[in-house]
Amino acid sequence: MEFRGVMTAITTPFNDDLTVDHDFLARHANWLVDHGCTGIVPLGSLGEGNTLQFDEKLAIVETCVAALDGRAPVMPGISALSTAEAVRIARGSAERGAEALMVLPPYVHNGKMHETRGHCAAIFEATDLPCMLYNNPFAYGVDILPEIIGELAAEHPSLRAIKESRWSGATGWIAGLVNALPAESVRLFDLAMAGRRQDAFELYAWFLPLLRMDTVPEFVQLIKLVQAEVGMGSETVRPPRQALPEADRREALALVRKRLATRPGPKP
């Protein structure tokens, strides 16, 4: 498993009756890889994982693995209310062909660090798959500091990577807007990795108003809105999420259309 390149935190597509649209999911996963993405990360917060039942989660992993057929790895987000449920999801994902796991702290419970460590350790030990630890204190209320990460890595050889929002030393990018704009996302990452900072910042300046959509509570609705606008997905979300209020949707759609109208082409 190479934790490199642009890996998509993929959205979960729903039919009108709110069942998972597996046909589109398979098509979307391949479209992303066709545009340069190096992996697919289902079941995360952008994937509305908290609204998915156990069997639905494993079915999504199975669909992604079968659709990609070895073209790129599938790394499901492992999150649950209980440690036992998280371990079940991890083992079920491994059985269905996942090549890595993205390990999250437990939902809701913001306990002491020894409890977070115990939860993560149980997932690390549940399978032989390499794991990425997702540290997002703003979303999960727990900040896994570098010294703790170092201790966990020493104790658990399966811990191979960290998902963090820092510039220095990154070898990969797990992104949300890539669901709609994979070519621009991959180009931005490649420019940054090549040290072409000026070109990267020019593209980043264009991208930034859209990237900010991934930082607000309505990030799922907004990213799905962009997907719908580029013809690669629908706006349908599962409750408790609901469609954007019309005024908010109009404002967001105007911004999206303005950005798309000035979409930059690749530089040599």
Query: For the whole model, what pTM was predicted?
Result: 0.94
Asked if 11 and 46 touch (Cβ cutoff 8 Å), the reply is yes
pLDDT at 268 (0 to 100): 60
Residue 110 reports pLDDT greater than 80:
no
Separation of alpha carbons 43 and 227, rounded Å: 18
Tens digit of pLDDT for each residue in 164-201?
A: 867 567 889 999 999 999 999 999 999 999 999 999 99
How much is the average pLDDT of 218-235? 98
pLDDT of 55 over the 90 cut? yes
* pLDDT, position 73: 98
SS3 156: coil
Domain coordinates in residue numbering, the chain: 5-175, 196-268
Which residues carry out catalysis?
A: 134, 163
The distance in angstroms from the start CA to the end CA of the chain is 30
Q: Rounded to the nearest 5°, which phi and psi values hold at 78?
A: -105, 100
Query: What pairing do the DSSP bridges indicate for beta strands 77-78 and 39-41?
Result: unpaired
CATH architecture of 5-175: Alpha-Beta Barrel (3.20)
